[in-house]
């Protein structure tokens, strides 16, 4: 069960990473670097909340 949960978390991280990366590449033309940092900071806080 724990192993399955870890796999789900890893998949979630992978999906978030790829979607945020694609969003960043797309938004780079609109100079959205600050928003990209905000997204990653939100993801970081969420993961820290999960594991602590």
What is the spatial distance between Cα 13 and Cα 48, in angstroms, rounded to a whole number? 13
Is 41 within a domain? Answer: yes
- Is residue 8, in this structure, part of any structural domain at all? no
Q: Considering the entire predicted model, what is its pTM?
A: 0.38
9 in a domain, yes or no? no
Residue 33: which domain range? 18-52
| 1-51 confidence digits (pLDDT tens) | 567 888 888 888 888 777 767 766 666 666 666 777 788 888 888 888 887
Domains identified in the chain, total number? 1
Closest by alpha carbon to 21, among 39, 8, 34, 7? 39
Residue 4, number of CB atoms within 10 A of its CB: 8
Nearest-angstrom CA–CA distance, 4 and 19: 22
Structural domain includes residue 36: yes
Asked whether residue 38 is assigned to any structural domain, the reply reads: yes
At residue 20, the 3 state secondary structure works out as helix
Residue 12 located in a structural domain: no
């Amino acid at each position: 069960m724990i192993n399955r949960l870890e796999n789900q978390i890893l998949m979630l991280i992978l999906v978030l990473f790829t979607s945020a990366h694609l969003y960043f590449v797309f938004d780079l033309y609109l100079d959205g670097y600050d928003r990209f940092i905000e997204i990653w900071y939100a993801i970081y806080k969420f993961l820290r909340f999960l594991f602590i």
